[in-house]
């Protein structure tokens, strides 16, 4: 058994992909975890039901379900019951995730290799394994899973996932307007590198916009960059959600799931009008963004993602839909006429520190200023007429 743990810890063997997360007909929970025989994993389903009753998004239940499935797959390989797990099994999970290949990172032929930097955008391709944020998210889900069962007097006596008491105390009752305190992360937690926003320069944005082949795609891109709306939020609006007079759109926010107003640019509304003139005004209850081939239907996230991929193939770039939100946030945060609080309201960030990330200055955005700096003549070191160099040397030294 020790040899098996060492092999898993160092990624020499993989965890069998048995079991799955299934959508079910019901709201509590909307997703369940089943084992290799198709039998529901009772402990996981109980926790997911409690999450759903707590009014979280169904997609959150799905995400947590996959993290729990990964955890149970490891326990099944090790032959450990979930209520007998210790921090030793959690360490094996972290080691395996740091060493194994992420099946979601399997790339098609022709795409950039993992870790390579795109010469045009400066973005690094995703690594082949699990990202530090993914590992930390998995630890959070497993920790909360055991906290739930401990509340109901089930599971191990001590939560197997280590926790930093110092960090929990520092973050409790903290105002979102305050700076995050510097505390040590808990054991097994990964260091997450600080990354600059993936914003496009004006030149690259114009090239991407020009690569769009129809008014629908031009309207979508223009609205993404002017509003900062998330990809799924904008794709879910209808014609009734567009306020032409006040230049607003109403989206259902991903976090709060509330219908909120978001400003858009006049240019994006002009492209939207051109798209509606071409495709026709949708009827009541019909989607605003529709497919252009075959029978018109709702434009999905994956279809719009494929539109971006085709543009990337022509331009040699690797932009994503979420990069459009980063571009909008960077433009707003660096506008001298906008305060950070106003930008936070437009982007609907829960924490103003998240908005502050977009105020970072990038070297590529300083190209013109750097060129002026390099060609500016250096100041002359000659002394003004009438001064004796020996006297200046006595007074100032050197």
- Per the residue annotation, which of 73, 198, 230, 331 is the catalytic one? 230
Residue 218: Cβ within 10 Å count: 21
Q: Which of 64, 224, 275, 358 is catalytic?
A: 358
Q: How many residues does the chain have?
A: 398
Q: Which of 322, 362, 387, 393 is catalytic?
A: 322
Residue 203: phi and psi, rounded to 5, are -65, -45
Among 325, 326, 331, 344, which one carries the catalytic annotation?
325
Task: Please state, in angstroms and rounded to a whole number, the distance separating the CA atoms of residues 202 and 327.
Answer: 10
In contact, 312 and 212? CB cutoff 8 Å = no
What is the distance, to the nearest Å, from the Cα of residue 266 to the centroid of all Cα atoms in its chain? 28
> What is the DSSP-derived secondary structure letter of residue 379?
P
Taking the C-alpha atoms of residue 159 and residue 147, their distance in angstroms, rounded to an integer, is 7
Active site residue 322: yes
Residue 130 designated active-site: no
Of 98, 254, 270, 290, catalytic: 254
Give the position of tokens 């305050």: 178
Q: Which one of 198, 218, 271, 349 is the catalytic residue?
A: 349
What is d(CA 319, CA 225) in angstroms, rounded to the nearest whole number? Answer: 13
Binning the chain into helix, strand and coil, the percentages to the nearest 5 are 50, 5, 45
CA atoms within 13 A on the CB side of 387: 12
Which two structure tokens, joined as six digits, stand for 189? 């937690």
186 CA to centre of own chain:
23
How far is residue 141 CA from its own chain's centroid?
18
Q: What distance lies between CA 386 and its chain's CA centroid?
A: 65
CA distance 394 to 246: 71
Question: Are the C-beta atoms of residues 160 and 87 closer than 8 Å to each other?
Answer: yes
The C-alpha angle 99, 100, 105, rounded to 5 degrees, equals: 125
325 is catalytic: yes
Active site includes 230?
yes
Burial 327-343 (b: 16+ CB within 10 A, else e): bbbbbbbeeeeeeeeeb
Instruction: List the catalytic residues.
Output: 230, 254, 322, 325, 349, 358
């Amino acid at each position: 058994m020790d040899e098996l743990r060492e092999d898993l810890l160092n990624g020499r063997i993989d965890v069998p992909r048995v079991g799955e997360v299934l959508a079910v007909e019901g709201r509590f929970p909307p997703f369940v975890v089943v084992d290799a025989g198709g039998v529901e994993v009772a402990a996981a389903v109980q926790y997911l039901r409690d999450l759903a009753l707590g009014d979280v998004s169904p997609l959150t239940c799905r995400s947590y379900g996959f993290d729990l499935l990964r955890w149970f797959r490891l326990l099944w390989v090790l032959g450990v019951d979930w209520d007998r797990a210790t921090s030793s099994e959690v360490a094996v999970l972290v080691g395996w995730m740091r060493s194994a290949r992420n099946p979601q990172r399997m790339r098609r032929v022709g795409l950039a290799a993992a870790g390579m930097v795109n010469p045009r955008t400066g973005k690094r391709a995703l690594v082949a394994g699990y990202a530090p944020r993914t590992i930390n998210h998995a630890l959070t889900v497993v920790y909360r899973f055991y906290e739930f069962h401990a509340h109901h007097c089930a599971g191990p006596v001590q939560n197997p996932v280590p926790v930093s008491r110092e960090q929990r105390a520092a973050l409790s009752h903290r105002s979102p307007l305050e700076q995050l305190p510097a505390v040590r992360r808990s054991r097994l937690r990964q260091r997450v590198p600080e990354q600059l926003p993936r914003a496009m320069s004006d030149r690259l944005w114009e090239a991407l916009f020009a690569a769009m082949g129809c008014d629908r795609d031009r309207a979508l891109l223009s609205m993404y960059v002017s509003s900062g709306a998330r990809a799924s939020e904008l794709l879910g609006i209808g014609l009734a959600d567009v306020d032409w007079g006040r230049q607003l759109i109403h989206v259902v926010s991903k976090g709060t799931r509330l219908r909120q107003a978001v400003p858009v640019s006049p240019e994006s509304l002009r492209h939207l009008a051109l798209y509606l003139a071409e495709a026709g005004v949708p009827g009541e209850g019909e989607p605003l963004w529709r497919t252009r081939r075959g029978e018109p239907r709702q434009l999905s996230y994956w279809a719009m993602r494929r539109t971006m991929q085709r543009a990337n193939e022509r331009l040699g770039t690797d932009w994503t839909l979420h990069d459009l939100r980063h571009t909008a946030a960077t433009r707003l945060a660096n506008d001298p006429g906008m305060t950070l609080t106003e930008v936070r309201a437009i982007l609907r960030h829960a924490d103003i520190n998240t908005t502050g990330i977009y105020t970072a200055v990038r070297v590529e955005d300083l190209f013109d200023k750097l060129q002026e700096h390099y060609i500016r003549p250096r100041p002359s070191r000659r002394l003004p007429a009438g001064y004796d160099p020996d006297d200046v040397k006595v007074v100032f030294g050197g």
